[in-house]
Amino acid sequence: MLVVTELLTNAMRHAPGPCALTLELVGVELALTVSDTSAQRPTPQPFAPQRVGGHGLHIVMALAKNVYSRQTPGGKAVRAVMSLA
């Protein structure tokens, strides 16, 4: 739930239009994909524990087995793959 929340929050905060969430279960892996209308790919902020906000991508990368983004015709899609084993 935390990975979904962080990815959707980033999409809603940084993209000008709608976003979508897709969940795929393949064996013991869950793939979470959030698509939005921004073409800018996410980049982790420098680590700063005293800063409020800007830690979402670090959280996603710490919890997921794999995180990547790709351009789409209407913006981008960010995918996080998590092992459920």
Residue 37: pLDDT band (50, 70, 90) is very high
- Residue 59's contacts (CB-CB under 8 Å, 6 or more residues apart) are 2, 3, 6
Q: Tell me: pLDDT of 75 over 90.
A: yes
Q: Tell me: pLDDT of 66 over 90.
A: yes
For the chain, domains (ranges, CATH) are 2-83 (3.30.565.10)
Q: Could you give phi then psi for residue 78, rounded to 5 degrees?
A: -110, 130
Residue 64: pLDDT band (50, 70, 90) is very high
Tokens describing residue 41: 């790919």
